[in-house]
Structures are given as structure tokens and as C-alpha cells.
Amino acid sequence: MQTTTNKHNWNDSILIDLLGGTNEVARLCNVAPPAVAQWRHRGLPYGQLVFLAAKLEKDSHGLITRKDLFPNNWWMVWPELHDNKT
């Protein structure tokens, strides 16, 4: 696993905090809090980040977008975004 890289240099720990912290992300992902604590250091698993990306975009009021998080393949996961200019 790798730490999320993006043009704004958000790290996975910041993303977890933006989502409400370790316990909230654990609840959202249906995992134990210690797993999320490990993600802070080892990186969010790709599938979990895909799962959380729309919530991150909404909760950040568009500051963090799915296109930013997945610049090389966002259109494959969210084809409905293709026509949007964000």
C-alpha cells in the first residue's frame, strides 16, 4: 500500500481527519479502529479510498475531488463525472 499522492499533497492521515477521524472512518468502512490507525502510516487501501472518495469530496465542499484523488482513472470508476467540469 502507498500513501495517497495528489497535487495538493494531502496525506492519508489528513484525509482520515477530514472524514471525522479514526473511529468515524472505521465505522464507515466497517473495520476496527486499529486498522484505520495503521492506514494513517501505511496508506489507505485503494478500495477503501474509492469507497470514501465521494464522501471526501462532499465533506470538503469540493476542495478534494475524486478527479484529484484518482487523476489517472477517475473516469473508469465514476463515468458520470466525465461531463462535469470539476
C-alpha span between 79 and 74 (Å, rounded): 8
Q: How much is the pLDDT for 2?
A: 46
Domains of the chain: 12-81 (1.10.260)
Helix (H, G, I), strand (E, B) or coil at 33: helix
Q: What is the pLDDT along the chain (86 residues), one digit of tens a residue?
A: 444 555 667 899 999 999 999 999 999 999 999 999 999 999 999 999 999 999 999 999 999 999 999 989 998 889 888 875 55
* pLDDT for 4: 52
- The CA distances from residue 74 to 3, 33, 37, in Å, are 17, 28, 26
